Amino acid sequence: DIFWYFTLITIVESIDLYELINDIDPYDKHESTIFITGIKTRPFIKVKSKESISDTQLLFNDLIIHTTSLSKDTTSEKIERFLNIYLKMMEFLNLDLLSIVENNTFKIRNRFVPIEELYLPLLSFDSTFSKDEQLPVEFEVHIVEKPNGKAYLKWNDVFIGSALNDNHQENDNYKYHDVFHLAFAAILHWSPTFRALIKHKRKSDPSLDETQDSGRPIVIEEGLSAWLFSISKQRGIDFTKESSISYDLLKTIQIFIRGYEVEKCPLQLWVKAIIQGYTVFNQVVANKGGIIIGNRRERTLGFKKLDTE
């Protein structure tokens, strides 16, 4: 992360990182140590080593001081000093620059590259299964609120699941939260909850049924939906805006889903699922129900008002 923000600073300040790395090289060999970067075209970097790096706390303090100084006022000299202490830290921790660059490249691709520029296999989680074990490619789910205040789901003219209420002292409209599961199904091609509701679990593969479609994955998805809803409610965060979805939040989602097939989805898909899920959720709340239109092929979720006639 440090190298990530450092690189952003060099971009904003129009500083050539390659020239900078060359500039920190020409120390006398008696005052320098050789650092292995892992980059084929430049496998070694000289790091000034007059100061001992045996004092771990001193080294970390040095890095913090240089990082703080750089964040307040950016100059070429400060960037050069920061890079020098940063490389010392890498040497001390036995890290190589190549792996750090690769990790940051993955971070960019995972979070910031537009979805249309990514190669995303269609229906990759269940494409080899029969249709009755697949999430539907296109679906319309009706959310109907009855006079008792409870919400009901209807798919293919059949009510599915149980009647829903807010399950909370406050009427916060959480009874409509199934919209989030539908967003996950349409955009991520993943929702063990929706799969269970429509009885499309992959039972032909007992191992997959148990590890990806049953109890624990369903709990994970429900917990994730409730957690996002609580954050939005308590902090007043508008998840219909991409700027409201922080990278820290996305990293927490990664922790939630680790070990499950959906972890293969880039974070940018999660951003889209959250934005569209909350956009449609707000429409359902405003209309006290509606028709949720999902399209896995297009990875979209839409809304249509119920026919009141």
Contacts of 21 (CB under 8 A, 6+ apart): 42, 45, 83
> Does a structural domain hold residue 150?
yes
The answer to whether position 153 is within a domain reads yes
As a whole number of Å, the CA-based R_g of the chain is: 25
Say what the pTM is.
0.71
Residue 229 lies in a domain: yes
pLDDT at 63 exceeding the cut of 80 = no
Range in 10-24, 181-195, 265-279 with the lowest mean pLDDT:
10-24
Q: Can you give the pLDDT at residue 36?
A: 47
Q: Which two tokens stand for residue 242?
A: 């991409």
Q: 237 and 257 in one domain? A: yes
Same-domain pairing of 159 and 55: no
> Are residues 141 and 60 part of one domain?
no
CB 12 within 8 A of CB 28: no
Query: Do the domain assignments include residue 309?
Result: no
pLDDT at 4: 72
Cα dihedral 20→22→26→29 (10° resolution): 120
pLDDT computed for residue 170 by the predictor? 72
Segment 20-25 mean pLDDT? 54
Q: Which of 84, 111, 138 is the last residue of a domain?
A: 111
Nearest in space to 184 (alpha carbons), one of 260, 247, 108: 260
pLDDT at 34 > cutoff 60: no
Q: Structurally, how many domains does the chain consist of?
A: 2
Residues 71 and 129 in one domain: no
**Does residue 264 lie within any of the structural domains?**
yes
Is residue 259 one of the residues assigned to a domain? Answer: yes
pLDDT at 239 over 50: yes
Q: Are residues 69 and 167 in the same domain?
A: no
pLDDT of residue 50: 45
Is the pLDDT score of 164 beyond 80? no
| Separation CA 174–CA 150 (nearest Å) | 11
Spatial distance between the Cα atoms of 80 and 34, rounded to a whole number of angstroms: 17
pLDDT tens for residues 240-278? 999 999 999 999 999 999 999 999 999 999 999 999 999
Does one domain contain both 83 and 140?
no
Mean pLDDT over 97-114 rounds to: 74
| Residues 135 and 27 placed together within one structural domain of the fold | no
Digit-coded pLDDT (tens) for 43-54: 445 555 544 445
Is the domain of 51 the same as that of 159? Answer: no
Instruction: Check whether residue 204 and residue 299 sit in a common domain.
Output: yes
106/123 same-domain check: no
Tell me, yes or no, whether 158 lies in a domain. yes
Q: What is the mean pLDDT of residues 73-91?
A: 76
Residue 191: strand, helix, or coil: coil
The residue from 68, 91, 111 where one domain ends is 111
Confidence (pLDDT) at 57: 66
Instruction: Please give the pLDDT value at position 25.
Output: 47
Domain extent, residue 81, equals: 2-111
Mean pLDDT of 196-214: 96
What is the DSSP annotation of 245-273?
S-HHHHHHHHHHHTTSGGGGS-HHHHHHH
pLDDT on residue 96: 73
Q: Which residue has better confidence, 14 or 215? A: 215
Of the candidates 217, 197, 201, which has an alpha carbon nearest to the alpha carbon of residue 209? Answer: 201
pLDDT of residue 113: 74
**CB atoms closer than 10 angstroms to residue 103:** 12
Within-domain flag for 274: yes
238: its two tokens = 């508008």
Asked if residue 122 and residue 103 are part of one domain, the reply reads: no
Closest Cα to residue 198, out of 248, 122, 141, 263? 141
* Residue 163 pLDDT > 90: no
Contact 195, 213 (CB under 8 A): yes
pLDDT value for 140: 98
Residues 175 and 299 in one domain: yes
Domain final position from 90, 111, 132: 111
